Structures are given as structure tokens and as C-alpha cells.
Chains A and B, each alone.
Chain A
Amino acid sequence: MAEAPKLFKVTIDNITIEVPAGTTILNAARQIGGDVTPPAMCYYSKLQGSGGKCRTCLVEVAAGSTADPRPMPKLVASCRTNVMDGMVVKNITSERVTDARNGVVEFLLLNHPLDCPICDQAGECHLQDLSYEHGKEGTRYEFAKRTFEKEDIGPYIQLHMTRCILCYRCTYVADQLTNNRVHGILDRGDHAEISTYISTAIDNDFSGNMIDVCPVGALTDKTFRFKNRVWFTKPVDAHRDCPTCCGKVTLWNRGDEVLRVTARKDQWGEVQSYDGKPGWICNTCRFDKKDMNDWVIDGPMKVARHSVISANHYYSGTVKPQETVAEVMGGRAPKLLMDIHSISDVNKPEVHLSELPGPATGATFNSPTPLKGSNGQD
């Protein structure tokens, strides 16, 4: 018996590529890149066993292989189907796929609260991107959306169960990154929910990575909660010497204040890899280092042109643009007709949002000493 060839030839949307045996269709498409890559809500290449749940990556296999060129009768999940030699795959060229994907998005949005105006994930949410591309404007669902009782899962992570699409990524993070998973999916079907069961706090040192893998706003950073919208923050890449993790992060700044720290993301929205190892970051880097002095700045993060995060961002590298007014005025500084800070209540220099452990309250902005007792509740 002849040995199987090492490289399989696969054609995706009329683009042919050679990939090693055992590669999934999704990963083969990612090697081509661009529009032919199916979207993935649950598959995460850095988490073993992920995928196969959300069905957004469905593709049509027009020919199974050279040996057996019959088409596959049903659409297949590309994240769970390996390529065969001579396989012909249709993604965006297939009407069936587009139609099925629209249906999947409609299903994902059935119970999604669509509270994007409040949600901290808005602007970097994969479900937002997906529904923008494939979703309908209205819903055909007539029943009440499923709701859950609010649950506190610890001081750092905010859980919004209503937004969850049950991709299971966070449970894989807990299984594969931390030594002890204390949360999971309870119940089945429509009742399925992510919970810690007895409301035990998730306090493992790498638990914060659940926030990064969550494709929607179900798990968000409590230290960043409501502090600013992502598109008004300035993302810069930075690093520090961290004994527990790689220490390579993206800081989301407002002025010189670090409002949020996340791991760096690659083009698929997944955590960037360094030397083949995923660059997960520890909770100390993520939640406790909210000072610019803790970090060494590498430069502004590259933001895709079409992303809302690129709005109102002007890049000049790490070099501060030159002030030209004084130069052309013969050394005289420009005369300010009005200093906006003398009248404006927004972005007051004495209010340090980055030092608050949780969301700001009315007391944060209105009390004379903003930082003391700023939580309003105490």
C-alpha cells in the first residue's frame, strides 16, 4: 500500500493550496486568508478541543477527495473537518453556505439581549461583526428572551449570562491554563448557563484569559467596566518582565491612564503566539498593573482600517508630532481663546478612572474627593 502523500491539495473558493495532512478546512482557509476564511465563534486554535459548537464556520464540500469525488450531502463544520487530497470546498461562493450562516446568526441572536450600547465588548465583539455581515435587521422570534439571575463570579470578571452564546471557550481556558476549574456549564439546552455553581470566586492566576477568549460580552473585565468605550481608548503594545507570564500585552489608554490591559490579538482575534506558544497573560499583568510606569511601550497597536477602534486615531508612531505654531509665530506661544479644562467636567485631571477597582458611579464624578468611597455603595 502506497504511503499517503504528506501534502494535501485542497481548493477553497477556487483557490488551491497545499496543506499538511490532518489540517482542518478552517485552518487551510486561514492559510489563504481574506474573505474565504469562514468566521468562527467557538473554535479557538490555541485551545485544544474547541470548536464544533456554534456552526458559523459551515462550508460546502463540493468534492470529497480525488479518490471519492462525491460531494458531501450536508454542510460541514470546517473547524472539525479535516481536508482530503483533492477536496473542493465552497465557502463564500456557495449560496447554501451564506444562507445557512444567516440562519445560524439568527439563532445565535435569538436570546442575545443586543444591549451593545451598554456592553463593554461593543466595538471588538465577534458576534457584532458576524451579525453585521450576515444578520437580518429584525427578528422573527416572538417569545421573551431567556434571562438569568445576576451572579457575581469574583472581583475581576463580570459575567453577563444573557449575552453568552455557549461557545465553551472559557471552560477550555480553565481546563488547559489553570490547574483547577471552578466554573462550567450547568443544565442543558435552553437552560444551559455558565456558572460557578456555588458562586465560588474564580481567582486562579490565569483566569483573566477567559475575558480575552470570550467572543461576546459575556465575560468582561470588571476593572474596565463602563470606564470608556473601546474606540475612544488608545491601544498601545507594551511589555514588562513578568515572572508568571510572557508579559506582552496591549494597553488600552485614555491619555496616560491605563484603563485596561489585554493580551495581544492576532488577525483572527485570538491571542498572539510567541515562538509557537500562545501569549496568555496572568491576572497580575491584567488587573493590577494599571500604571504607565509598570510598562515599557513598544508602539501603537496596529488596528484594522475598517475597525471602529481606528476611528479618530491618528498615528505617528511613538514620535510626538512637532508643534509648529510657536515656530511660525516667532517663538510666541499660541494664545488660547478658551481653555476647555477650565469649563468642562469631562476628563477631569483629578479623576483617575484607572485606579478604581470597579465601574465609576455618580459619586466618582460629583464628590469633592473623587477616589475615597468612590464606589457609592459604601
Chain B
Amino acid sequence: MRSRDMQLTQRAKQVDRRPMTAWEKLYLPSILKGMFITLGHFFKKKATIKYPEEKRTFSKVFRGLQILNRDEEGRERCTACGLCAVACPAEAITMEAAERQPGEEHLYKEEKYAAKYEINMLRCIFCGYCEEACPKDAIYLSQTFAPANYGRKGFIYKKDDLLIPNPKEDPDGYQKALGERAVKK
């Protein structure tokens, strides 16, 4: 008998199968009761907001669009070590490495850099493993999400789309893109 009484949740209710009383058969009182509940919601606080005029604040741990970071001097931090790509469960990240040449020291932090870096946002599940795997603090997930697009091709994000603004040329844009997540570190 134990198994029949066993309930999956605390809220499970036994179905009442007794025949309806005369009051219940009238039907209208129940309809009115339901109408009043609906009417009451007109005067309650709305659960929705008018996006995009109004935007919700994200939680501090929100994981959005990836950003390729630069150091204080504006050099790219990424060394194309491939740890983000191997950590990526969706296999969304691909890259191609190149050697830094004399004269390019102001562009890239280390002697090897990512000449090409792509994230397939159709594949990305925003798990944040790439950020966790990165030994160079070069990639982090920002608090924005990937904007909608008409075609699939618009979701292949390349280095131009991912790189943070140069702090020397555009300090405000850099700070804005850095957001709260990066400051915390």
C-alpha cells in the first residue's frame, strides 16, 4: 500500500471524484470567480518589460558574448594556445596561429598570436569553459548577448567582432566592454 500513497512532490492532490453539488452545477459562480482572478491581474505589477527601450540588468555571473581581451598597452593577449578550443564542449572555437614579426610588438603581447580566431555562435552554448581554460586572461564572457541576425553567416564571429576596443585609442569603449566581470579579477 506504501507505493500507492507515495507522492513525487508535496503538492500532489488527490482528485475529487464525487458528483457535483447543485451549487457547482450552476456553473456561473465558478466562471465569475475565474473572471475576478483575471481582473485582479490588471492592477498588479507587470512581469514583462518593453525591450529594447528598457533593458533588464544582468546578474553578475551572466555569461554572454565572448570578448577577446587586450592588455593595458592595447596588445592582444591571445597566444592561440588552443586551450579554449579544446575545452569547448560545442567545438565552436577555431583559430590559426602565426609568429609575431619584428615591428609587431605593439600589436601582440607574446611571440605567437592568433592570426585568425573564430567563434561559431550557432554552436556556442555560453558555458564559459573558454574563459576558465584561458591561461592568458585573453577571453571572457561579457554581459551582452549575441544580437539577432537574418542569416546564419552573421553568427560566425571573427576577430574583428570579438576584439575589445583598444584602450589607448578608445578608453571609454574599452572600459565599457570590460564590464563588471573583468574588473572583478
Chain A contact residues, CB within 8 Å of chain B: 115-118, 122, 225-229, 231-232, 308, 311-312, 337-338, 340, 342-347, 358-362, 364-366, 376-377
* A308→B82 CA distance, assembly (Å): 12
> Contacts of A338 on B, CB cut-off 8 Å?
152-153
* A118→B110 CA distance, assembly (Å): 8
Other-chain residue from B82, B99, B115, B152 in contact with A229 (beta carbon distance below 8 A):
B82
Other-chain residue from B112, B120, B156 in contact with A226 (beta carbon distance below 8 A):
B112
For residue A236, give the distance in angstroms from its CB to the closest CB of chain B.
20
> Contacts of A116 on B, CB cut-off 8 Å?
81, 135
* A366→B80 CA distance, assembly (Å): 17
* A225→B91 CA distance, assembly (Å): 24
Most buried by A among B79, B104, B111, B112: B112
Which residues 7-29 of B have a CB within 8 angstroms of A? none
For residue B38, give the distance in angstroms from its CB to the closest CB of chain A.
43
Q: How many residues of B contact A (CB 8 A)?
A: 30
Residues A362 and B96 in contact in the complex (CB < 8 Å), given A117-B81, A337-B152: no
Contact A226 B101 (CB under 8 A): no
> Contacts of A359 on B, CB cut-off 8 Å?
97-99, 112
For residue A32, give the distance in angstroms from its CB to the closest CB of chain B.
33
> Contacts of B80 on A, CB cut-off 8 Å?
226
For residue A179, give the distance in angstroms from its CB to the closest CB of chain B.
33
> Contacts of A361 on B, CB cut-off 8 Å?
98-99, 101, 115
Contact B86 A231 (CB under 8 A): yes
Contact A122 B81 (CB under 8 A): yes
Chain B contact residues, CB within 8 Å of chain A: 79-83, 85-86, 91, 94-99, 101-102, 104, 110-112, 115-116, 118, 120, 135-136, 152-153, 156, 158
> Contacts of A337 on B, CB cut-off 8 Å?
152
CB-CB nearest 3 A-B residue pairs: A117-B81, A359-B99, A229-B82
Other-chain residue from B112, B136, B158 in contact with A345 (beta carbon distance below 8 A):
B158
Other-chain residue from B94, B115, B153 in contact with A362 (beta carbon distance below 8 A):
B115
Name the prevailing secondary structure of the A interface residues.
loop
Contact A344 B94 (CB under 8 A): yes
For residue B135, give the distance in angstroms from its CB to the closest CB of chain A.
5
Contact A227 B86 (CB under 8 A): no
Jot down 10 A-B pairs with beta carbons below 8 A, ordered by A.
Answer: A226-B112, A229-B86, A338-B152, A342-B153, A345-B116, A345-B118, A346-B116, A347-B96, A359-B112, A364-B98
* A227→B91 CA distance, assembly (Å): 19
For residue A255, give the distance in angstroms from its CB to the closest CB of chain B.
13
Given contacts A118-B110, A362-B104, A365-B98, 19 further A-B contacts (CB under 8 A): A117-B135, A117-B136, A308-B86, A311-B86, A340-B156, A343-B153, A343-B156, A345-B118, A346-B94, A360-B96, A360-B98, A360-B115, A361-B99, A361-B101, A361-B115, A362-B101, A364-B115, A365-B96, A377-B101
* A204→B109 CA distance, assembly (Å): 35
> Contacts of A376 on B, CB cut-off 8 Å?
101
Residues A118 and B85 in contact in the complex (CB < 8 Å), given A347-B94, A361-B98, A365-B116: no
> Contacts of A117 on B, CB cut-off 8 Å?
79, 81, 83, 110, 135-136
Contact B81 A229 (CB under 8 A): yes
Contact A227 B97 (CB under 8 A): yes
Contact B112 A231 (CB under 8 A): no
